[in-house]
């Protein structure tokens, strides 16, 4: 039987285990006052207050650390906590992407659990460089549900097509808390959500799998005839 395997994770520090500082990082992923989180950054158009890496609570997270993303409604620090990464992977013709991660609905700033609209917004892009986000080619929302004990759950988005315009460009991803933007209910005091073990992989499109399978079959027949 001919087996086609997905590629390895295209993201670095995907479980946020580095820099493993032993303390909470609360000024974003590319902070000027705290250790940077390798491979990740907070874009300049997103806020970094109470956003970063910590040793999380709840059950089901990966490793010792996870990311947490805040969202604020205050005039002093408005905006969405964001984590972004520009990969080294160059997108190819026929690429199809799978995104998976662990998510946790978090606390509101007044100490209560986030309501059912605890939401992560994911954005895939091409052509970014360094700490600059590229052009968006796919995006969507993942509902983390209601936090009744802070446990982690698995989420995935499969079969994301790569457009022709993105071919030959590097792949990028951005994740941010969209809880009081998407879903209708406004969290006037702000909130956090947790993200961990983010995986972004490419898988061959069905036509390519068929070609590879036929190639394997032909090779088997040739060997038998030989």
- Contact (CB, 8 A) for 10 and 202: yes
Q: Is the peptide bond before 15 cis (omega within 30 degrees of 0)?
A: no
Q: What is the pLDDT of residue 180?
A: 59
Q: What is the pLDDT of residue 2?
A: 43
Q: What is the pLDDT of residue 215?
A: 47
- Identify the sign of the CA torsion 131, 46, 150, 99: negative
Q: What is the pLDDT of residue 213?
A: 46
Q: What is the pLDDT of residue 62?
A: 85
Which residues share a beta bridge with 125? 136, 172
Which residues share a beta bridge with 144? none
In this structure, CATH architecture of domain 52-225: Sandwich (2.60)
pTM of the model: 0.82
Q: What is the pLDDT of residue 115?
A: 53
Low-confidence ranges of the chain (pLDDT < 50): 1-2, 116, 148-149, 181-188, 208-223
Domain ranges of the chain: 52-225
- If DSSP codes are grouped into helix, strand and coil, which group holds residue 84? strand
Token duo for residue 128: 């970014």
| Rounded alpha-carbon distances, angstroms, from residue 13 to 84, 140, 210 | 12, 23, 33
Token duo for residue 108: 């509101």
Q: What is the pLDDT of residue 46?
A: 81
């Amino acid at each position: 039987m001919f087996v086609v395997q997905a590629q390895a994770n295209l993201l670095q520090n995907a479980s946020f285990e580095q820099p493993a500082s032993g303390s909470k990082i609360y000024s974003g992923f590319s902070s000027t006052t705290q250790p940077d989180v390798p491979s990740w950054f907070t874009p300049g158009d997103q806020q970094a207050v109470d956003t970063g890496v910590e040793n999380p609570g709840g059950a089901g997270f990966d490793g010792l650390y996870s990311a947490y993303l805040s969202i604020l409604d205050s005039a002093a620090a408005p905006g969405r906590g964001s984590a972004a990464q520009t990969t080294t992977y160059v997108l190819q013709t026929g690429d199809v992407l799978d995104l998976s991660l662990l998510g946790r609905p978090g606390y509101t700033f007044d100490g209560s659990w986030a309501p059912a609209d605890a939401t992560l917004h994911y954005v895939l892009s091409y052509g970014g460089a360094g700490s600059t986000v590229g052009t968006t080619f796919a995006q969507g929302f993942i509902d983390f549900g209601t936090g009744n004990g802070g446990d982690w759950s698995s989420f995935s988005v499969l079969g994301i097509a790569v457009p022709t315009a993105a071919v030959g460009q590097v792949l990028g991803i951005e994740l941010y808390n969209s809880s009081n933007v998407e879903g209708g209910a406004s969290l006037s005091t702000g909130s956090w959500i947790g993200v961990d073990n983010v995986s972004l992989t490419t898988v061959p499109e069905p036509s390519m799998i068929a070609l590879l399978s036929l190639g394997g079959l032909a090779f088997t027949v040739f060997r038998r005839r030989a």
